[in-house]
Structure 1
Amino acid sequence: MTDTVVSFQPFDPSFLADPYPQYEALRGSVPVERHEFGFWALWRHADVTAMLKDRLSVEDTNVTTFGPMREVYDEIYGEADMQRRGGGVSMLDRDPPDHTRLRRLVSQAFTPKTVERLVPVIQDLVDEALDRIADEGSVDLIEALAFPLPFAVISEMMGMPEDNVDRLRELSSLIVRSLEPVPDAEVVRQILAADIEMAERTAEAIAWKRQHPADDLLTALINAEEAGDALTDEELIAQVVLLYVAGHETTVNLIGNGTLALLNHPEQAAIWRDRPDLDDNAVEELLRYDSPVQFTRRVTLEDYEVDGLTIPKGCFVMASLGSANRDEAVFGPDAGVIKLDRPNAKQHASFGGGVHHCLGNALSRREAKAALSSLFRRFPNLVLAGTPTRNERINLRGVTDLPVTVY
């Protein structure tokens, strides 16, 4: 193992189409690497999951504040009021104790009971979408189901005014690009402009909700308090933006990737149709097999030892969730095969780990289970009607369209 320039080629068209052969080669040859772009990369399950549990920093790891993008970030934001910075105080980008405090307050509102209460709402939305698909016969499944479902669910959960929802969906789709490793300057300008507008719209919605409280997540976040501590307006805006952005595209990709995997492996779809007892494990295996999020990132707070190699203090580290999920050392020699009854499927790293384990994981699982189990049971003869288009993103892996026909 060395700390020299490595073979990871994130912009290679073959990687964007299918990253898993490259991951396999990297796990076997240089599982801890320093890339020519300046970051370090981890590829093995043991190293990735250990890093997620260790107290490495997440602050200043957003691509819009890292390296050459910092100048663009400052140019767009300038001295803007923090209320106009949707990601400015998000718990996603904060270390303890700030992260601990924010997560504790948000968790008061985002409870398992809240998610369970949404189950019939999710199923109704899925059934309505499937009715429309049945009427049309041939559809783009991303546009017909995977894309609208998560946003409808989070908007219902938030109790967001309806006149805000369509524009928030557009803005969310732009902001989520900030999770890509190396966007160009123009993309960063678009991200930050969308971030500011979404923060402003969220502030307006919060002001409206203070005057019209209801039994919803936004009201609960406004009222969240512990020992006299509550979310400031800036923190409240940031958490709402985070829940929208993080809760949307990742679930879109989970449903899209899962559907495509099952269409390409119809024998697995048939097994699932006949075995409702596999509903939960099937979702875990689909999360493992083709993760909607391929990387997470940290900054070392001190010299960090991995497999006998020292990553110096202050280094930017990319941990490959997608590679960890296909590690033969954990999932066996058939790690590259989809098996909905895989006993240890839940050992995947798709929701991260440690203190930053995805807060919305239960909601995402519920949405995927309802969408995919209902889709393949209602339409047992569902088939691809064309070649799906990969979104060509390094981190948020998905498809932009998924043409299907039902019979």
Structure 2
Amino acid sequence: MTNAEPLFDPSLPGLADDPYPHYARLRRTDPVYEHPAGYWMVSRHDDATAVLRAPRMSVNEKNLAGAPADDSAPPPELPPAMVEATNVMNLSLLDVDPPDHTRLRSLVTKAFTPRAVAALEPVVTELVNEGLDRIADGGRVNLMDELAFPVPFAVISHMLGTPPADSDRIRELTGRIHRSPELLDEAELIEGMAAIEELVKISREMIDWKRANPADDLLTALIAAEHEGDKLTADELVAQVLLLYAAGHETTVSLIGGGVVALLQNPDQLDLLRRRPELAENAVEEFLRYDPPIQQTRRITTGPYPLRGKEIPGGSLVMVAIAAANRDEDHFGEDAGKLRIDRADARQHVSFGAGAHHCFGSALARMEARIAIGGLVDRFPSLELAGDVVWSDRVELRSAKVVPITV
């Protein structure tokens, strides 16, 4: 650790409110940046795409330089149950490399084919209409509470076939585990691990309930695969449920909230969408590019990786700054920092990743956002912000906590 002022400092007050000037500075000044904290940041579009597709990159933290060869023994300062829960979470699709990733993904993605997602459209439409009714009844409401959160949460519950759950509690717990580690002190890290422990417990309870109440749903299919013996271990099953149920909805929540904010802060684009509703699908791509829910994603080099005349050593943590790459003027043009819902190349964003770890839920997220935002805009011609947007203090996952609207 050096005393140099970093080009990108996740602890800066107010950064979460508008991180984009900071990303622009990083992209312009040093697009392959060795951060004083000991990791690297990549911020240009072409470089981000290359890193995300590179077969020499890992998502498993065991490949970090200095990582213990065997992490099975719990650190003495943490309760064994907490360490066990954290190890279970690390078995999710987000944290394993091929061939384990390939095996897990081939099972889980069967529920996210274009045909399966299309079959969910009536369910999503009904849930959105219920949310729009709540907004109409309330007049002045927090969009996140009435529409952006309830719809994705209910959709993933429907897909999994899980019993009714304490959505507020799960929302609180997932919020704790999505904060950037750079912002956490020791007490907050332990609090985050405690949240993981509780989420693992909730997932196990859901699985136990589904064993006694099987049906034609994703969770029943995952359990059946585990029983076959060569698909999922018990802990892998818990990890995928945790990923899908407790974490998978968060990015769609952020996409809906951020997309509405972007429109309301750019009234010319809101007017364009009203005049040309056929732009709804492309508008979602532009929301993903302009203000992506996942701002940064991690990779670990498994060997020396040359990039722009530098060499990133093997075992290094690389932060791919998706939010910076999506506004790269070299790729999207001089107006890359502006919202344009008719942008021809909007879909070239890297918000869903690339390569083997491309988000398997991308089609579902797109569909939910299209129906939710399109329905909101269509139903309420007087829709407008009713106050300041309050953003969470997360760095890697950008999400609004409060989007006050009037209709």
Q: Give the TM-score of the pair, scaled to structure 1.
A: 0.91
Gaps of 5+ in 2: none
Identity in percent: 49
Aligned CA distance change for structure 1 residues 169 and 9 (closer, same or farther; 3 Å)? closer
Alignment correspondent of 2:174: 172
Residue deviations 1:121-175, cap 9 Å, x none?
1111111111111111111111111122211111111111114555434433333
Q: Which secondary structure does the structure 1 equivalent of 2:256 belong to?
A: helix
In the alignment, is the contact (CA less than 8 A) between 1:53 and 1:353 conserved in 2? yes
Superposed displacement of residue 180, structure 1:
5.0
Superposed displacement of residue 24, structure 1:
1.6
Alignment correspondent of 1:58: 59
Alignment correspondent of 1:27: 27
Superposed displacement of residue 14, structure 1:
4.5
Residue deviations 1:201-247, cap 9 Å, x none?
21222122122111111112222479973211110100010112332
Alignment correspondent of 1:151: 153
> Is 1:42–2:46 an aligned residue pair?
no
Letter in 1 for 2:92: S
Range 6-15 or range 376-385, more displaced: 6-15
Letter in 1 for 2:120: L
Q: Show the 5 A alignment for 1:1-400.
A: 6-55=6-55, 56-60=57-61, 75-76=77-78, 78=80, 82=84, 85-163=87-165, 165-177=167-179, 180-224=181-225, 229-400=230-401
Residue deviations 1:84-138, cap 9 Å, x none?
8541311210111111111112123443333222111111111111111111111
Superposed displacement of residue 72, structure 1:
9.8
Range 188-197 or range 359-368, more displaced: 188-197
Q: Which secondary structure does the structure 1 equivalent of 2:61 belong to?
A: coil
Letter in 2 for 1:375: L
Range 49-58 or range 227-236, more displaced: 227-236
Whole-Å separation in 1 of the counterparts to 2:75 and 2:154: 31
Whole-Å separation in 2 of the counterparts to 1:167 and 1:26: 37
Q: Which secondary structure does the structure 1 equivalent of 2:156 belong to?
A: helix
Whole-Å separation in 2 of the counterparts to 1:308 and 1:226: 50
Q: Which secondary structure does the structure 2 equivalent of 1:162 belong to?
A: coil
Residue deviations 1:319-342, cap 9 Å, x none?
100000000111000001100000
Superposed displacement of residue 276, structure 1:
2.5
Q: Which secondary structure does the structure 2 equivalent of 1:343 belong to?
A: coil
Superposed displacement of residue 16, structure 1:
2.4
Q: Which secondary structure does the structure 1 equivalent of 2:239 belong to?
A: helix
Residue deviations 1:256-313, cap 9 Å, x none?
1111110011111111122222111100000000111110011110000011100111
Whole-Å separation in 2 of the counterparts to 1:110 and 1:249: 17
Aligned CA distance change for structure 1 residues 19 and 168 (closer, same or farther; 3 Å)? closer
Letter in 1 for 2:139: G
Q: Which secondary structure does the structure 2 equivalent of 1:126 belong to?
A: helix
Whole-Å separation in 1 of the counterparts to 2:14 and 2:336: 20
Whole-Å separation in 1 of the counterparts to 2:276 and 2:79: 52
Letter in 2 for 1:51: V
Residue deviations 1:331-360, cap 9 Å, x none?
000001100000000000111111111111
Aligned alpha-carbon RMSD (Å): 2.6
Q: Give the TM-score of the pair, scaled to structure 2.
A: 0.91
Range 377-386 or range 316-325, more displaced: 377-386
Range 207-216 or range 221-230, more displaced: 221-230
Letter in 1 for 2:380: F
Range 320-329 or range 130-139, more displaced: 130-139
Aligned CA distance change for structure 1 residues 168 and 61 (closer, same or farther; 3 Å)? farther
In the alignment, is the contact (CA less than 8 A) between 1:391 and 1:399 conserved in 2? yes
Letter in 2 for 1:267: D
Letter in 2 for 1:329: D
Whole-Å separation in 1 of the counterparts to 2:162 and 2:188: 27
Whole-Å separation in 1 of the counterparts to 2:331 and 2:184: 33
Q: Which secondary structure does the structure 2 equivalent of 1:11 belong to?
A: coil
In the alignment, is the contact (CA less than 8 A) between 1:283 and 1:365 conserved in 2? yes
Superposed displacement of residue 380, structure 1:
1.6
Whole-Å separation in 2 of the counterparts to 1:10 and 1:194: 22
Superposed displacement of residue 176, structure 1:
3.0
In the alignment, is the contact (CA less than 8 A) between 1:82 and 1:88 conserved in 2? no
Whole-Å separation in 2 of the counterparts to 1:386 and 1:81: 42
